[in-house]
Amino acid sequence: MHSEDLRVSVGTKNQLRKKSADGVEEDWKKKMAYNLHYKEGELPFKYLGIPIGGNHRKLAMWQPLVNSFKKKLTSWKGQNLLLGGWVMLINSVLSSLPVFLMSAYLLPKDILYSLDRIHRNFLWEGKGEGKKTNWVSWERVCKPKEEGGLGIRDLRKFNVALMGKWLGRLANMEEGLWKSVIEGKYGVIGWHWLEWVRDGRNIGSLWWRDIQSLKTGEGVNVRWLWEGFRLKIREGKGISFWWDVWCRKECLANKFPILYSLLTRKDKECHEMGNVDQGKWKWNLTWRRNLFVGEEEAAREMKRKTEDVKITPGHPNRWEWIHSRESQSSTKRAYQMLSMQRRELES
């Protein structure tokens, strides 16, 4: 075969094996689509209004959202409303447009700034274009009414509060395909999900890295989000007495290292560390030797920390969010706490 014929032959094979942007051969994709009775599509695409397969950190992905804001504002031009009317429109309509998307992704800072700018311009003039005079700082405008603000949502904090709901769904041990995928890709969660997410490296998909980035906040106080979850012991099965964080904010092995070294049963679960005596749960700790004075004081302190925990057989353990009366994460409560910028957990 001549060299020219060889080049033609190789080129033909390359065309037949042409691969798409996702690295899959075109012929194979067409065959699978035909056999499965599906229509071949491309990435990115939209599912229930949410962009799938694109890079949500690129500004171009969010331009339709910005355009929808401007389009809505155009329809309201020329309306004679008082300041209270503009505030009502912003809170009831403009702040609701991106909620679905903000529940799925952390929006780029530039996009949030653009949306806030549209809010500001609309508030002072009722229009979305042109240079406007901001009579009061936007930070003050976003404060609750009882603190002298107008109660307009700060989109950055609202975005973090919405994304924090995913942690609440993990905490509640919710079952679902999405959770099975996360577990299969990044490891088993179980009762260690909080440490697993918080201590994990920023690896994986962009969405998963966004979830992990909530531990830093990027200018927003989110410490409450990670430290506000508490493991509620009931039956005590599957929970390590010494190494799981079920008592206050720290595992007992780290809080009482000397007592841990003296204990005869280091690998037991909570339900194995005591028994029911006259209808009440009683912890039963045994030591390798008699405790010294300092060690006895440490043992009394540990008893004070654990005496409120009662093992109740037949009732499953669960995670609680200590900042809510319902013990479940709430977007409304989360946003309130972010607005108050609370630095410490409630004791």
**Residue 100 contacts by C-beta under 8 Å, 6 or more apart in sequence?**
49, 50
How far, in whole angstroms, is CA 120 from its chain's centroid? Answer: 28
CB 202 within 8 A of CB 209: yes
CB 249 within 8 A of CB 255: no
DSSP assignment, residue 106? P
45 phi/psi in degrees, rounded to 5: -140, 170
Ranking 78-87, 128-137, 303-312, 329-338 by mean pLDDT, the lowest is 128-137
**Residue 37 contacts by C-beta under 8 Å, 6 or more apart in sequence?**
none
How far, in whole angstroms, is CA 4 from its chain's centroid? Answer: 59
What mean pLDDT comes out for the span 298-302?
Answer: 90
258/332: higher pLDDT: 258
* CA 141 vs CA 20, 148, 164, 200, 214: distances in Å: 49, 8, 24, 37, 25
CB 165 within 8 A of CB 329: yes
Would you say residue 217 has pLDDT above 70? Answer: no
CB 215 within 8 A of CB 222: yes
**Residue 226 contacts by C-beta under 8 Å, 6 or more apart in sequence?**
167, 194, 198, 214, 215
Q: Where are the domains of the chain?
A: 3-42, 59-153, 163-232+318-340
Report the percentage of the chain scoring pLDDT > 70: 76
Whether the pTM exceeds 0.75: the reply is: no
Q: What angle do CA 101, 106, 108 make, to 5 degrees?
A: 105
Per-residue pLDDT at 189: 61
60 phi/psi in degrees, rounded to 5: -60, -30
pLDDT tens digit sequence for 46-81: 777 777 877 888 888 888 888 888 887 777 765 677
Would you say residue 88 has pLDDT above 50? Answer: yes
Helix (H) / strand (E) containing 282: strand 280-283
Please, how many CA atoms are within 13 Å of residue 62, restricted to the half-sphere of its CB?
A: 24
Rg of the chain over Cα atoms, rounded to whole angstroms, equals 28
247 phi/psi in degrees, rounded to 5: -120, 105
User: Whose structure tokens read 């194979």?
Assistant: 28
